[in-house]
Amino acid sequence: MSDLLPSRFTRRTVDADGVRIHTRVAGEGPPVLLLHGYPQTHLVWHQVAPLLADTYTVVLTDLRGYGDSDKPPSDPDHATYAKRAMARDQLRVMGELGFDRFAVAGHDRGGRVAHRLALDHPEAVTALAVLDIVPTRHVFRHIDADFGRGYYHWFFLAAENGIPEHLIGADPEFWVRARMVARHYGGASFTSAAQDEYVRCFSDPAAIHASCEDYRAAAGIDLVHDDEDAAAGRRITCPVLALWGERGFVGRHYDVPAVWREYADDVRGYAMPSGHYVPEEAPGPTAGHLAAFLRDSSRS
């Protein structure tokens, strides 16, 4: 197991109502929770987190199904990996650490969990940052051929009958490395030790299956929850920061701040000099924007 974080990031396993969540904590000050995406772990933040930990209490976790967190058995409607369940894990983690109110930032799948966390638990989330995503509901309501080509993995991973598990399981290292290279556009190079760690974690068949369940939930039960929120007029009420890679699909395909303003009341957004993997391709600018946003949000 490689460790790219300073030793002050202490490890602990937090029991979130029976799901053990691998957690790292460092720093002092207001709490901020950082969530990773696919096919990664908390180490996606390995260059950003130390910069924030000088001012904030930084909490890093592996989402359920990923990294060194538990991979609970799936169920027929994929609710085990609904963003609602994954967000509840993170709320429990922060509660166990003594934080009733906190900011949250999420990249990729972690951004979708963070979005759900802010919707389901507005009393807990003081500020929300989402990196290189627009809401899942918006994506599925505006699919076109360009999305199908750029995000084919959404449909491949959601396929049933164990198809993606079998194919990825034949060579998980190829899948992880090829998928990441395909979405990297001109930012800083990936740290090889971080990629090695992603491969280590993703080589577990349980992790492959859990991550597919994450995408199956997104195409099913997550949309049910999102549509219920839309029908009830529920929006994100805390401040929102949207960061996206100007060279990636999201930056080229969507007016990111405008889309988020359909779902949230207070949105600011900035394009980053990167592709999809914003925290790794542009760690300095990412940390700078997050720090400024957290500082401004604490004053509002």
Instruction: Tell me the C-alpha distance between 158 and 135, whole Å.
Output: 17
CB 248 within 8 A of CB 279: no
Number of H-type helices and E-type strands within the chain: 15, 8
Per-residue pLDDT 10s for the chain (300 aa) are 558 999 999 999 999 999 999 999 999 999 999 999 999 999 999 999 999 999 999 999 999 999 999 999 999 999 999 999 999 999 999 999 999 999 999 999 999 999 999 999 999 999 999 999 999 999 999 999 999 998 999 999 999 999 999 999 999 999 999 999 877 777 678 899 999 999 999 999 999 999 999 999 999 999 999 999 999 999 999 999 999 999 999 999 999 999 999 999 999 999 999 999 999 999 999 999 999 999 999 876
Catalytic residue among 62, 70, 108, 222: 108
Is 108 known to be catalytic? yes
Alpha-carbon span 144 to 83, nearest angstrom:
24
Q: Which domains does the chain have, with CATH numbers?
A: 10-299 (3.40.50.1820)
pLDDT at position 181, please?
A: 85
Burial (CB < 10 A; 0-12, 13-18, 19+), residue 122, is middle
Residue 126 DSSP code: E
What pLDDT is attached to residue 300? 64
Task: Please give the angle made by the CA atoms of 283, 241 and 263, to the nearest 5 degrees.
Answer: 140
Q: Which of 258, 228, 223 has its CA nearest to residue 244?
A: 258
pTM: predicted TM-score of the whole model, two decimal places: 0.97
Q: How far is CA 265 from the centre of its chain?
A: 21
What DSSP assignment string belongs to 142-194? T--HHHHHHTHHHHHHH-STTHHHHHHHT-HHHHHHHHHHHT--SSSPPPHHH
Phi and psi of 14, rounded to 5°?
A: -105, 130
Query: What is the predicted pLDDT for the residue at 299?
Result: 76
Q: What is residue 40's DSSP assignment? A: -
How much of the chain is in helix, strand and coil states, percent to nearest 5?
50, 20, 35
Round to whole Å and give the CA distance between 106 and 116: 11
Contact 33, 90 (CB under 8 A): yes
Catalytic residue among 46, 209, 225, 276: 276
**pLDDT of res. 2:** 57
Q: Cα separation of 222 and 224, whole Å?
A: 5
- DSSP of 57-115: EEEEEPPTTSTTS--PPP-TT-GGGSHHHHHHHHHHHHHHTT-SSEEEEEETHHHHHHH
- Residue 189 confidence (pLDDT): 84
Structure token pair of residue 205: 């068949």
